[in-house]
Structure 1
Amino acid sequence: MYSQKSTPSSVPSPVYGQPPPGPSYVAGVSASSLVSQTSWSSGLCDCCLDIPNCCITCWCPCVTFGQIAEIVDNGKTSCGFHGTLYALINVLSGCGCMYACFNRTKMRRQYGLPEVPSNDCCVHFCCGPCALCQEYRELQHQGFDLSIGWEGNIHRSTMTNIGVQIPPTALGGMSR
């Protein structure tokens, strides 16, 4: 089938959904998990890609966390609930990062993202604001507008899928 010595021209290209040829594991990770996982759309320290969100996250991480958690939770609980709970846990125990790390794990599983650069709890404990910013950017990359919440995204998706053009909203302006 394949020659023992492979040159770059003789290596078959990978087929989506099938493990690559060769050993069934790479550095202790099975080939099936390599196929199912995608990479993060941005790095942990790429905060400069979204300065406004970075500033909000640094000064008030409960807002960003609440927006992320509402989307990850599929709208079962509101942004305000998650943000308030995060703030209370952080004020009372200083361990809001523990609540955030469980949410990151849930998000990673939903989107098949790898646990990099370290496990979720370590990432949130050492780089909490950066982790929240990365999660926010990832959900944006997945097509969500976190500022309108779960219901707003569902409505936008439904209107787009049935072919209705959503007009832009005009803010302010003159009125009588």
Structure 2
Amino acid sequence: MNLSVRTQPRPLGAFSDDVAEWSSGICDCCNDTRECCFAFWCCPCFACITSKALGQCLCLPLLDICGACTCPITMSMRVSVRHRYGIRGSLCTDCVCSVFCQSCVWCQISREMKSRELPAVLGDIISR
């Protein structure tokens, strides 16, 4: 009896058949100047608003203050968005991005949510 594995497990998420990429890069913050300025001048406020839009607790990003060298909440939110949308990546990349450019990560998460947003009404679908 041969019990060999013929297929690998697929990632969980909205796009489990296709492995997606981020809709914008980590350094594409200036694509939306308004959000870019808000994130860089008041990152805690921007992170809290984005966290709430993701369906998480409004004040959750404020716990990043407790992380000595890392930003655990920022990193976990980036991982969460990656898994939700089936985006290719690694925990190592998420950690490096979160530690060295926290504002850029929150901007990227916000842009990703906007680009993946589904139309609310049938009229939006027809007009496309």
- Both structures adopt the same fold (TM-score exceeding 0.5): yes
Does residue 1:102 correspond to 2:84, yes or no?
Answer: no
* Higher RCO, Cα 8 Å, sep 6+: 2
Contact 1:64-1:136 within 8 A present in 2 as well: no
Query: In the alignment, which of 58, 65, 80 is matched to residue 40 of structure 2?
Result: 58
* 1:31-70 map, 5 Å: 35-70=17-52
* Unpaired runs of at least 5, structure 2: 1-5, 124-128
Query: In the alignment, which of 94, 97, 102 is matched to residue 120 of structure 1?
Result: 94
Q: Which residue of 1 aligns with 2:62?
A: 87
The TM-score with structure 1 as length reference comes to: 0.53
Identity %: 26
CA separation in 1, counterparts of 2:34 and 2:50? 16
Report the structure number with the largest CA radius of gyration.
1
Question: Residue 142 and residue 136 in structure 1: after superposition, are their counterparts in 2 closer, same or farther (change >3 A)?
Answer: same
Letter in 1 for 2:98: H
Deviation, structure 1 residue 109: 0.3
The ranges of structure 1 where at least 4 consecutive aligned residues each deviate by more than 3 angstroms after the TM superposition are: 32-35, 92-96
Contact 1:72-1:106 within 8 A present in 2 as well: no
- 1:75-123 CA-to-partner distances (Å, cap 9, x unmatched) read x53x3x33xxx23542x5556722110111111100011226x521111
Q: Which residue of 2 aligns with 1:8?
A: none
* 1:109-148 map, 5 Å: 109-115=83-89, 119-143=93-117
Letter in 2 for 1:54: C
CA separation in 1, counterparts of 2:70 and 2:51? 13
Number of residues of Structure 1 aligned to a counterpart in Structure 2: 114
SS of 2:101's equivalent in the other structure is helix
* Unpaired runs of at least 5, structure 1: 1-23, 25-29, 145-155, 164-176
CA separation in 1, counterparts of 2:76 and 2:51? 10
Letter in 2 for 1:36: D
CA separation in 2, counterparts of 1:89 and 1:138? 21
CA separation in 2, counterparts of 1:143 and 1:93? 31
What is the Cα-based RMSD across aligned positions, in Å?
A: 3.1
